[in-house]
């Protein structure tokens, strides 16, 4: 009986971590369903550290992948029951970043994501009324762009090529509309 | 029969623990690494610092200016990083409390566990300063208040001013970049201290 009990514990632990194993998915445009080539898929595993009441998460492992012509990308996973479920963030110029936990722009919790063997990630086009500054905050909270930057080179490069200049421009416009004199 | 019930109970306990573990979610209110940088980002966005940097210091990209230029570290990064690093090492947090009803030399943390207090004594944080004193060096309200230099505090308000001065006057561009980085990091660390003053436990001296 004891063996069965231990087997159950081991099974449950490994089934939990197995869910976060290999991530294979297709990235598509949410309107047209067309595959998106060249999207950067960033997967980051974290570990919770600290003492109860004062905990924080630290990056454990980061993997990047770029989608092919068919919009497909695969990221091999981490088999460690002590790590948290990974954050998946997908980035492509002209689109809102897709994240497995939160949805831009209102930071709603994503409810349509379940751990499975194959995924379809639907990316929404970046609308004119969206704010690049808000989107930057969203990326800060989801992709943690200031942490482990050496391992997020593709993601940061893609961000720098498109959005950084947009954020700077939006701040300038915002500041000039405020009429501040810089003092 | 009794044996079966015992086994069933064990299975139920294991299953319940597993279900509880699966339903756990992070609450980041106490997560100093996540929460402080986010509040700092919000404060920075709502301030005039971006405009100030462009107009007065000729940083054309404002808070997105990279320092040093060949890295990914923007001014925004240094501010957010500073607000994160004020809790590193953790014993720095012994100086993040201030009871406004007490005089400043008695308003520091009062109920720190002796184990933690002992540990902090060993790691160079034996004196517990008030948040305000830790940030500014003042022992009583400025401008007439007395002031001290705190050993181990290299990222307070006065330090930020000193780094700023060095960033503006240093001869080499490497030094200027280094001091600008330190300026914004120390401002971030002071912002952390101000953020803590919005937390009830921090103004009741309750660790």
What is the predicted pLDDT for the residue at B26?
A: 54
Q: What is the pTM of this model?
A: 0.82
| Rounded Cα gap, residues B191 and A164, in angstroms | 25
Report residue B31's pLDDT band, with 50, 70 and 90 as the boundaries: low
Give per-residue pLDDT as tens, B55-70.
Answer: 999 999 999 999 999 9
pLDDT higher at A89 or B26: A89
User: How close, in Å, is residue A28 to chain B by CA atoms?
Assistant: 29
Beta carbons within 8 Å of A5's beta carbon, 6+ residues apart = B7, B10, B11, B14
B5 found inside a domain? no
Nearest by CB to residue B64, choosing from A156, A168, A182, is A168
Report whether pLDDT(B24) > 70: no
DSSP annotation of B130: B
**Strand A118-123 versus strand A23-29 pairing type:** parallel
What is the number of domains present in chain A?
1
Give per-residue pLDDT as tens, A115-128.
Answer: 888 999 999 999 99
Report residue A18's pLDDT band, with 50, 70 and 90 as the boundaries: very low
Cβ of A57 within 8 Å of Cβ of B34? The answer is yes
Using the Cβ of B70 and the Cβ atoms of chain A, whether some distance falls under 8 Å is answered with no
Alpha-helix residue ranges (DSSP H) falling in chain B: 2-22, 32-46, 49-56, 75-85, 114-122, 131-136, 157-169, 173-196, 200-203
3-state SS class at B25: coil
Using the Cβ of B58 and the Cβ atoms of chain A, whether some distance falls under 8 Å is answered with no
What is the predicted pLDDT for the residue at B57?
A: 95
Nearest by CB to residue A12, choosing from B18, B51, B63, is B18
Q: What is the CATH number of the domain that holds A56?
A: 2.60.40.1120
A182 found inside a domain? no
What percent of chain A clears pLDDT 70, i.e. is strictly above it?
84
Of the listed ranges A48-52, B179-183, B189-193, the least confidently predicted one is A48-52
Reference A48, options B54, B31, B98, B137; nearest CA is B31
Reference B185, options B86, B71, B114, B57; nearest CA is B86
What is the predicted pLDDT for the residue at B204?
A: 83
What is the predicted pLDDT for the residue at A8?
A: 64
| Rounded Cα gap, residues A25 and A29, in angstroms | 13
Cβ of B22 within 8 Å of Cβ of A16? The answer is yes
What percent of chain B clears pLDDT 90, i.e. is strictly above it?
61
Give per-residue pLDDT as tens, A70-98.
Answer: 999 999 888 888 898 899 999 999 999 99
Reference A93, options A54, A121, A131, A123; nearest CA is A123
Contacts of B33 in chain A (CB under 8 A): 56-58
Give per-residue pLDDT as tens, B32-47.
Answer: 677 899 999 999 999 9
| Rounded Cα gap, residues B88 and B83, in angstroms | 10
Cβ of B10 within 8 Å of Cβ of A181? The answer is no
A141 found inside a domain? yes
Of the listed ranges B33-37, B84-88, B198-202, the least confidently predicted one is B33-37
> Domain of B199?
31-203
Structure tokens at A182: 């810089």
Report whether pLDDT(A20) > 70: no
Q: Is A94 exposed, middle or buried (0-12, 13-18, 19+ CB in 10 A)?
A: exposed
Residue of A nearest to B31 (CA): A56
Report residue B174's pLDDT band, with 50, 70 and 90 as the boundaries: very high
| Sheet bearing A54-66, strands edge to edge | A54-66, A40-51, A87-91, A98-99
> Domain of A124?
2-177
Reference A180, options B60, B47, B40; nearest CA is B47
B137 found inside a domain? yes
Of the listed ranges A99-103, B33-37, B104-108, B126-130, the least confidently predicted one is B33-37
pLDDT higher at B24 or B181: B181
Q: Give CA angle at B77 (B74, B79), nearest 5°.
A: 115
How is chain A classified by DSSP, letter by letter? Answer: -HHHHHHHHHHHHHHHHHTTS-EEEEEEETTT--B-TTPEEEEEEEEEEEETTEEEEEEEEEEEEE--TTSEEEE-----TTSPPPEEEEE-TTBPPEESSEETTTTEEP-S----SEEEEEEPBPPTTS-HHHHHHHHHHHH-TTSSGGGGHHHHHHHHHHHHHHHHHHHHHHHHHHT----
What is the predicted pLDDT for the residue at B4?
A: 66
Nearest by CB to residue B62, choosing from A8, A146, A168, is A168
What is the predicted pLDDT for the residue at B3?
A: 64
What is the predicted pLDDT for the residue at B205?
A: 67
B26 found inside a domain? no
Residue of A nearest to B11 (CA): A5
Using the Cβ of B166 and the Cβ atoms of chain A, whether some distance falls under 8 Å is answered with no
Residue of A nearest to B42 (CA): A137
User: How close, in Å, is residue B41 to chain A by CA atoms?
Assistant: 8
User: How close, in Å, is residue A99 to chain B by CA atoms?
Assistant: 16
DSSP annotation of B61: T
- Summarize the confidence of residues B173-192 as an average pLDDT: 97
DSSP annotation of B154: -
Cβ of A56 within 8 Å of Cβ of B33? The answer is yes
A75 found inside a domain? yes
Beta carbons within 8 Å of A109's beta carbon, 6+ residues apart = A101, A102, A103
Q: Give CA angle at B48 (B44, B54), nearest 5°.
A: 105
A152 found inside a domain? yes
Give per-residue pLDDT as tens, A147-156.
Answer: 888 899 999 9
A183 found inside a domain? no
Cβ of A133 within 8 Å of Cβ of B45? The answer is yes
What percent of chain B clears pLDDT 70, i.e. is strictly above it?
89
Cβ of A9 within 8 Å of Cβ of B14? The answer is yes
Structure tokens at B88: 């590193």
Report residue B72's pLDDT band, with 50, 70 and 90 as the boundaries: confident
**Phi, psi at B130, each rounded to 5°:** -65, 150
What is the number of domains present in chain B?
1
Cβ of A57 within 8 Å of Cβ of B31? The answer is yes
Contacts of A178 in chain B (CB under 8 A): 48, 51
Rounded to a whole number of angstroms, the distance between the first and last alpha carbons of chain A is 75
B17 found inside a domain? no
Report residue B88's pLDDT band, with 50, 70 and 90 as the boundaries: confident
Report whether pLDDT(B28) > 80: no
Question: Mean pLDDT: which of A79-93, B85-99, B132-146, B157-171 is highest?
Answer: B157-171
């Amino acid at each position: 009986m004891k063996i069965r009990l231990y087997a159950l514990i081991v099974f449950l632990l490994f089934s939990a971590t197995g869910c976060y194993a290999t991530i294979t998915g297709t990235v598509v445009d949410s309107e047209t369903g067309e595959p998106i080539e060249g999207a950067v898929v960033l997967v980051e595993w974290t570990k919770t550290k600290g003492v109860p009441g004062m905990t924080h998460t630290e990056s454990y492992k980061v993997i990047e992948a770029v989608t092919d012509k068919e919009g497909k990308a695969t990221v091999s996973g981490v088999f460690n029951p002590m790590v948290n479920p990974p954050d998946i963030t997908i980035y492509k110029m002209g689109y809102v970043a897709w994240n497995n936990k939160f949805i831009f722009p209102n930071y709603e919790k994503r409810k349509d994501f379940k751990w499975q063997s194959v995924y379809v990630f639907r990316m929404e086009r970046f609308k004119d009324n969206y704010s690049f500054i808000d989107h930057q905050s969203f990326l800060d909270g989801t992709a943690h762009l200031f942490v482990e930057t050496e391992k997020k080179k593709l993601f940061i490069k893609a961000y720098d090529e498109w959005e950084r200049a947009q954020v700077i421009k939006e701040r300038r416009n915002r500041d000039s509309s405020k009429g501040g004199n810089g003092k | 029969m009794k044996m079966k019930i015992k086994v069933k109970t064990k299975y139920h306990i294991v299953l319940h623990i597993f279900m509880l573990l699966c339903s756990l979610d992070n609450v980041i209110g106490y997560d100093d690494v996540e929460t402080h940088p986010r509040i700092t980002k919000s404060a920075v966005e709502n301030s005039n610092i971006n405009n100030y940097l462009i107009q007065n210091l000729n940083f054309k990209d404002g808070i997105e200016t990279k320092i040093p230029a060949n890295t990914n570290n923007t001014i925004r990064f240094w501010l957010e990083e500073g607000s994160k690093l004020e809790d590193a090492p953790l014993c720095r947090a012994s100086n993040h409390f201030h009871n406004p009803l007490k005089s400043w030399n008695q308003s520091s943390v009062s109920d720190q566990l002796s184990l933690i207090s002992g540990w902090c004594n060993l790691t160079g944080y034996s004196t517990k300063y008030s948040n305000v004193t830790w940030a500014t060096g003042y022992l009583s309200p400025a401008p007439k208040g007395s002031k001290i230099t705190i050993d181990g505090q290299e990222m307070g308000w006065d330090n930020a001013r000193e780094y700023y001065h060095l960033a503006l006057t240093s001869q080499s561009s490497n030094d200027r970049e280094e001091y600008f980085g330190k300026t914004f990091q120390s401002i971030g660390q002071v912002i952390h201290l101000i953020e803590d003053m919005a937390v009830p436990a921090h103004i009741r001296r309750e660790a």
